[in-house]
Amino acid sequence: MTEEQSKLFQGLVSIVQTTLAADMEKGAVTPTLIAEKVDFVADNLYPGKDIDRKAARDELIRRFSLWIGGATMLSDKTGHKDWLNASRRKDWRYWQRYRDFLESKMSVKAVDSLDEATNKILELLEDPLREGVWDRRGLVVGHVQSGKTGNYTGLICKAADAGYKIIIVLAGLHNNLRSQTQIRLEEGFLGYETSAKNDVVRYIGVGENARDAEIRPNCATNRSDNGDFNTKVAKHLAISPEQRPWLFVVKKNKTVLERLLKWIRNHVADAKDADGRPLVSGFPLLLIDDEADHASVDTGDQIVNKDGTVDDEYQPKAINSRIRKILHSFARKAYVGYTATPFANIFIDRRKATKEEGPDLFPQSFIINISAPSNYVGPARVFGLRSTDGRVGGLPLTREMDDQIDSSGEDGWMPPKHDKTHVPMYQGRDEVPPSLREAISAFALCCATRVLRGQGDRHCSMLIHVTRFTAVQEEVRRQVDELVKGFRARLRGFGAAERDALLAEWRELWEDDFVPTSAAVATSMDETTGEFDLPDWEDVEAVLPEVLDDLANGVRAINGSAGDVLDYAEREETGLKVIAVGGDKLARGLTLEGLCVSYFVRSTKMYDTLMQMGRWFGYRPGYLDLCRLYTTSDLVDWFGHIADAAEELRQEFDTMAKIHATPETYGMRVQSHPVLMVTSSIKMRSAKTLQLSFSGSVLETVAFHRDPSILESNLAATERLLNAAAAPSEKGVIIRERGSVKQAWRGFLWKGVPAEHVADFFSNYRTHPAARKVNSAVLADFVKAMSAKGELSSWTVAVIGGNDSADGGPFVLCGKYALEHMITRKPNESTEHYSIGRLLSPRDEAIDMDEDSWSAAMKLTLEDRARDPGRGTEETGKESPKYPGGIWVRQVRGLGAEGVPAHPERGLLLLYPIDPKGAELPEGVPPVVGFGVSFPASRSTTTVKYEVDHLLWETEYAPAD
């Protein structure tokens, strides 16, 4: 597509979208209506022009099929004055031109959502026109590769409209990420392309055709690789109050930040603070911290005394110190961090402050959680959700491999432990393993298919992320480059036999992998527009030589020492096809445009590090079915944990927002959350002891011992509990009829079981070490601590059996509680212990609720789904829920609801005898007793200590870097 054709296409789509936006208010926008509008506009405004009408229809169908959930927030308005009303937004020009720019490329719904979210953020900042001293600090939590840059670009536009004069964006640790961010802000805010000469090269993006040139913002940095804030700029730059806003896009680099700090103090400060330090009183500051959990967090260990005071002589880490000093140099300032992995930010100690730096970067004022739109492909979409049958609902895009190591697991092409001198060899040969050869072949087929789908001028990228050492990366790049050149030579006919053999290999991959996968993705995504239809093999074969030609110089090493860059901007018209081999630069922040195939074998197990390495998450319009992730089974499991952890964190956030918690109370709650035990101990700064609370959580055993003696011991602990609980309240079939919903369980139920019996059960039950989230000894301590304060004192205990259709055999507990069927849970593969997906069904948590409580939890569940319709669940998928979600069950039980009393004293313990035969355990082994425990939500801050084996912690979860 030529530049002229691209402009015609965008013009057609934009005009039709505008006309359809009005129709959207009257009713549904259908594919038929879209087709009619496209033809009408094309015939009347672009007669005789060569415009791809089908592509325009498909793009508009995608846009109008989109739905986006609302943003939720926690805020603390102490010292804040409400200010953002309609009159203040009346004549905004930076935002309006950015909105117009976005609507030429995005759905109206998406732009409306961005407008609403950025309004929420801005109104929680302070009015830049407000005099005096004020300080607002917040955090925006998005998803990896979900459009956070677009969000803060919108915020910057609105902040500039409102009167913020100095805008600093902290954009990663590397030059290419800083440059990438600079280019995005040139398009969305500045409106012009910058150069090292600090002049306007050409108008672009929001400033195209020199629109609104009189409001053109100033910029002290430029898009070149070394365009950061430098000494030359610092010497000659001065700001006066009447000038337009100034933008600084800088790295998180000690030298750069120190230079910027000195310039602010020497050239911008117009007053002194109480301690005689230079202070800027005339210009309000907005500081945006991209990837705010990376490098910005102070990982030092400041001493906090028993009375809450801190050591004022403490020296924070270099980057954190300079960010805080910059903020401390302004009387009026706002700090907004952006991240997809907020763990480290939430772990920041709110009490940390020093005389030189001021307070730390804890988001004291607000935390906003932004929902991803329906076309976002994140961990839950890729890896599925936990269920009683393992993980379900994931897309069939992962390909597990293990040939990067040898049979010992300690050597081979890329073993988990290697150093910078490692030479990658596959079975003694200087070549890549078969799995990487297949991944590169899949990338070639993907590029060819995109050409045939009319996406040949779009960027197309492959990621290879196997080592952090640049020297080893270069060896990998060389091997990959040689392989690609070999493919190209064979396709160009250096021997018909070799060419035919390669095409036969690729045709087999096409028919065995691409054809069934595209069909499965289309079914999973309910796709009926033909978006995932594949071309014929003969057509693919015909364009493969062209694809390999484009890849001839497309294998790049992207790291701190390599000269290769990803020049997407320069190849905007033709599209860049690139295989990027790299490490840290590719691990965080850097966007790989059009990422299709990823080959990933890094071994870190930290949630936040793994999440950030997931560059394949994001938007894949028109080519999702072609995407592939080649990785190890171990990492597939860990990414499944990430999907669960991220979902649980967001649910916890929504619960806290519902009860109007502040960031501070949320911070204390999350720091004690067991699911977040797996993150950097350095960032947590809690050394060997964690303080845990389980309030509002559901815990379930999914990893079990195989040792018969331990299984016997756990069964004995269960029977001791049931004997102490006396006679059950219900037995046989437990029926609940609530509204139009009737549910039944087979088993036994006890009410009012004293806490000491439940604590005794936990004390005697032995959980498996692999069940990191469920430690029975810690649960026992927690129950005792809460019951001493009047909560969790009276328990419902239920033994849950299988249905008539279940395969589990009969079993009798305590010689008198007969189950016709035990439940069955299939074992996960490749684990030494017995491991399952989920133990309990989410509906089980409501087994003890009366109709009013159940209805209140159901109401909250439906409200939550309305806010974020994309949040599918194991039991409902995208359908409307038929029974309440566990998080809302726990909230209603512990905190009550309108017309429904709270029962924080009532815990729920669910016991599941699991058939050992279905678990594939040896003959004669007793049933595996699993438990699920549902803790009601609580406003209590009670925690219990959990002692961590620090050596094990560092071995298992320390950063790979």
Q: What is the pLDDT of residues 278-299, one digit of tens each?
A: 999 989 999 999 987 777 776 6
pLDDT of residue 582: 80
729: which 2 tokens?
């309240």
Q: Which of 201-210, 613-622, 859-868 has the lowest mean pLDDT?
A: 613-622
Higher pLDDT, 5 or 713: 713
CA dihedral sign, ordered 524, 530, 532, 536: positive
Give the confidence band of 348 by pLDDT, cuts at 50, 70, 90: low
Long-range pairs of 652-657 with CB within 8 A, sequence gap ≥ 24: 652/696, 652/887, 653/72, 653/74, 653/141, 653/367, 653/369, 654/72, 654/369, 654/864, 654/887, 655/696, 655/887, 655/891, 655/937, 656/74, 657/72, 657/73, 657/74, 657/369
Residue 690: inside a domain, yes or no?
Answer: no
Is the predicted pLDDT of residue 915 greater than 80, yes or no?
Answer: yes
Residue 381: inside a domain, yes or no?
Answer: no
Together in a domain, 294 and 442: no
pLDDT of residue 3: 65
pLDDT of residue 952: 39
Residue 377: inside a domain, yes or no?
Answer: no
pLDDT of residue 197: 72
pTM of whole model > 0.75?
no
For the chain, percent of residues with pLDDT exceeding 70? 83
Together in a domain, 510 and 625: yes
Most confidently modeled range among 430-444, 600-614, 649-663, 830-844? 430-444
Compute the average pLDDT of residues 932-938: 93
* Three-state DSSP state, 339: strand
Give the confidence band of 837 by pLDDT, cuts at 50, 70, 90: confident
Is the predicted pLDDT of residue 614 greater than 70, yes or no?
Answer: no
Together in a domain, 407 and 505: yes
Q: Point out the domain boundary residue: 65, 81, 101.
A: 65
pLDDT of residue 606: 55
For the chain, percent of residues with pLDDT exceeding 90? 44
Is the predicted pLDDT of residue 27 greater than 60, yes or no?
Answer: yes
pLDDT of residue 875: 39
Higher pLDDT, 533 or 173: 533
Q: Which residue has the tokens 């939500």?
A: 937
Residue 775: inside a domain, yes or no?
Answer: yes
Strands (E), 176-291: 218-219, 246-250, 271-272, 278-279, 285-290
Give the confidence band of 253 by pLDDT, cuts at 50, 70, 90: very high
Give the confidence band of 831 by pLDDT, cuts at 50, 70, 90: low
Q: Point out the domain boundary residue: 48, 65, 82.
A: 65
Q: Which of 286-290, 304-308, 668-672 has the lowest mean pLDDT?
A: 668-672
Higher pLDDT, 456 or 597: 597
Q: Which of 338-342, 357-361, 497-501, 607-611 has the lowest mean pLDDT?
A: 607-611
Compute the average pLDDT of residues 459-488: 92
Residue 916: inside a domain, yes or no?
Answer: yes
Domain holding 134: CATH number? 3.40.50.300
Q: Over the chain, what is the mean pLDDT?
A: 83
Is the predicted pLDDT of residue 441 greater than 70, yes or no?
Answer: yes
Measured distance CA(362)–CA(344) in Å, rounded: 10
Together in a domain, 335 and 403: no
Measured distance CA(405)–CA(771) in Å, rounded: 27
Q: What are phi and psi of 279, to 5 degrees?
A: -135, 135
Among 493, 399, 383, which Cα is nearest to 443's?
A: 399
Provide the domain count of the chain.
Answer: 4
pLDDT of residue 135: 96
Together in a domain, 290 and 166: yes
Together in a domain, 430 and 559: yes
pLDDT of residue 540: 96
Together in a domain, 361 and 395: no
Compute the average pLDDT of residues 766-778: 83
Residue 32: inside a domain, yes or no?
Answer: yes
Instruction: Name the residue range of residue 846's domain.
Output: 699-939
Q: Which residue has the tokens 């750069």?
A: 256
Together in a domain, 726 and 873: yes
Strands 390-392, 385-387: pairing kind: antiparallel
* Three-state DSSP state, 794: strand
Together in a domain, 712 and 854: yes
Q: Which of 31-45, 51-65, 584-598 has the lowest mean pLDDT?
A: 584-598
Measured distance CA(698)–CA(648) in Å, rounded: 10
Higher pLDDT, 313 or 702: 702
Is the predicted pLDDT of residue 663 greater than 90, yes or no?
Answer: no
Together in a domain, 354 and 470: no
pLDDT of residue 678: 43
Distances (CA, A) of 351 to 360, 663, 665: 8, 14, 13
Contact 238, 267 (CB under 8 A): yes
Together in a domain, 112 and 22: no
The single-letter code of the amino acid at 247 is L
pLDDT of residue 879: 63
Compute the average pLDDT of residues 36-55: 86
Residue 744: inside a domain, yes or no?
Answer: yes
Higher pLDDT, 191 or 391: 191
Compute the average pLDDT of residues 232-247: 79
pLDDT of residue 304: 58
Measured distance CA(765)–CA(715) in Å, rounded: 8
Together in a domain, 354 and 441: no
Is the predicted pLDDT of residue 668 greater than 70, yes or no?
Answer: no
Compute the average pLDDT of residues 348-375: 82
Compute the average pLDDT of residues 724-748: 92
Residue 960: inside a domain, yes or no?
Answer: no
Is the predicted pLDDT of residue 957 greater than 60, yes or no?
Answer: no
Contact 642, 321 (CB under 8 A): no
pLDDT of residue 874: 41
Give the confidence band of 94 by pLDDT, cuts at 50, 70, 90: very high
pLDDT of residue 99: 92
pLDDT of residue 180: 87
